[in-house]
Amino acid sequence: MWVLGIESSCDETAAAIVDAAGNVRADVVASQIAEHAPFGGVVPELAARAHLRAVVPVVERALTALPGGLADVGGIAVTQGPGLVGALLVGLQVARAIAWETELPLVGVNHLDAHLLAVQLRLGDGHVPVPYPFVSLLASGGHTALYRVDAPDAITLLGQTRDDAAGEAFDKAAKLLGLGYPGGPVVDRLAAQGDPTALELPLPMASRKNLDFSFSGLKTALARHVADHGVPSSERELADVCASYQRALVEVLARKAVAACVQEGIPRLTLAGGVAANRGLRARVKELAAGRHGKVATDAGPTPVEVFVPVLRACTDNAAMIAYAGALRLARGERDTDLSPFSRDPRRERGKFRRDGTLVRR
């Protein structure tokens, strides 16, 4: 059964046609980068208006992949949250309208769950599905967390950022250095040309035994460096700063991800979210997983952690992952009638952290 997926959680308007086996028939994305670049970040009101303009053409384009168009669709999946409420409402209203007109079953999808399952999409030659269970590092512009995924409908939060997300930390660094928006890809490109030891920056919470993250202090350290020394005037100096900053951020992500596999006794690690496209992160995670700290105790003895990374287009926001997650829900016989958007992941714990790392829930 082909499922139409619609994604509009932030600044990408997307539609896709996917089945429950992960086969992708169509995957269409309309980006809003040009609209938000002058402001150095996503402007919620502009995002919602851009979704209104793009959503119908994007859906129509995706449906051309099926000979019978909408008549060949067996169900509809739409991002319910987390995300910008105004942006989410656009996708939800279109999905509701199509479901009402066609009487097709409709399900809402948690955007983060879809990211975790994106590694299962059959994109590219030689794709091998990841066996369950696996540990996943989800790092994006709005979220950074570690999850245990026992099944598509059995996902457990292991650790999370206490303040900023990794993607936000990359974008804020790029803004401080005058590199434009989105900054993550630019920092990654420059970092590949620089010396990662040129600038001494903190590794936030790297030595803590828990699986939480914190990036606000790292951003502050870079801001103080720029305030004291100014923005680097040469490309070599700029590359060194980017390399040092990326090294600090990536090191924490990689250490915690591999530690989560060891803690859970699961020798499989996946990367998810936009930051999973970062070449430095991919390389460091694979390096640590292959080292002596990347061994997991299993019944067969110490087993090295195997790393699975989605293709680049499956890392950033897309509707293929939404359609796939929705197709699995529909295959289990699930249906939704009340689809209200939510801006925050209901799994995320909120409150005040004590010095010993324990949480006082809000």
Judge if 325 and 288 occupy the same domain: no
DSSP annotation string for 302-359: EEEPEEE---HHHHSS-SHHHHHHHHHHHHTT---S-----SS-TT---EEE-TTS-E
The mean-pLDDT minimum among 177-191, 241-255, 341-355 falls in 341-355
Which letter, b or e, does each residue of 135-151 get, where b requires 16 or more Cβ atoms within 10 Å of its Cβ? Answer: bbbbbbbbbbbbbbbee
Strand partners, 77: 5, 107
Judge if 216 and 251 occupy the same domain: yes
The C-alpha atoms of residue 328 and residue 152 are separated, in whole angstroms, by 8
Judge if 102 and 58 occupy the same domain: yes
Query: What mean pLDDT is predicted for residues 258-271?
Result: 95
- Among candidates 184, 187, 181, which has minimal Cα distance to 37? 181
Order the strands of the 144-151 sheet from edge to edge.
154-160, 144-151, 134-139, 268-272, 306-308
Judge if 235 and 277 occupy the same domain: yes
Helix or strand holding residue 46 (H, E) = helix 44-63
Q: Look at strands 306-308 and 144-151 and give their pairing.
A: unpaired
Query: What mean pLDDT is predicted for residues 7-29?
Result: 96
Position 318 in a domain: yes
pTM above 0.75, yes or no: yes
Considering 67-76, 120-129, 206-215, the range whose residues carry the highest mean pLDDT is: 67-76
Q: Look at strands 73-81 and 144-151 and give their pairing.
A: unpaired
Query: What mean pLDDT is predicted for residues 83-94?
Result: 96
Judge if 265 and 154 occupy the same domain: yes
pLDDT tens figures, 230-253: 999 899 999 999 999 999 999 999
- Among candidates 154, 161, 119, which has minimal Cα distance to 136? 119
Judge if 156 and 287 occupy the same domain: yes
**pLDDT score at 25:** 96
Judge if 262 and 184 occupy the same domain: yes
Give me the phi and psi of 18, to 5 degrees please.
-140, 155
Give CA 48 to chain center in angstroms: 20
pLDDT tens figures, 56-87: 999 999 999 999 999 999 999 999 999 999 99
Position 349 in a domain: no
CB neighbour list of residue 285: distance below 8 Å, 6 or more residues apart? 137, 253, 254, 257, 258, 269, 271, 307
Answer yes or no: is pLDDT of 256 > 60.
yes
Position 212 in a domain: yes
Judge if 40 and 108 occupy the same domain: yes
**pLDDT score at 352:** 56
Judge if 200 and 273 occupy the same domain: yes
Q: Look at strands 12-18 and 295-298 and give their pairing.
A: unpaired
On the 0-12 / 13-18 / 19+ scale of CB atoms within 10 A, 278 is buried
Position 345 in a domain: no
Residue that is written with structure tokens 């919602």 in the block: 48
Position 343 in a domain: no
Contact 74, 1 (CB under 8 A): yes
Given pLDDT bands bounded at 50, 70 and 90, which one contains residue 19? Answer: very high
The C-alpha atoms of residue 226 and residue 181 are separated, in whole angstroms, by 18
Position 185 in a domain: yes
Judge if 327 and 276 occupy the same domain: no
Position 344 in a domain: no
**pLDDT score at 117:** 97
**Domain of 46, in residue numbers:** 2-118+314-331
Position 216 in a domain: yes
Q: Where residue 52 sits, what CATH number does that domain have?
A: 3.30.420.40
**pLDDT score at 16:** 98
Token representation of residue 203: 């590794």
**pLDDT score at 104:** 97
Mean confidence (pLDDT) of the chain: 91
pLDDT tens figures, 134-164: 999 999 988 999 999 999 999 999 999 988 9
pLDDT tens figures, 276-335: 999 999 999 999 998 877 778 777 778 889 999 988 889 999 999 999 999 999 999 999
Identify how many contiguous H helices and E strands the chain contains and give both numbers.
Answer: 11, 14
Judge if 299 and 235 occupy the same domain: yes
Given pLDDT bands bounded at 50, 70 and 90, which one contains residue 361? Answer: low
The C-alpha atoms of residue 183 and residue 169 are separated, in whole angstroms, by 9
Judge if 199 and 162 occupy the same domain: yes
Report the domain count for the chain.
2
**pLDDT score at 362:** 54
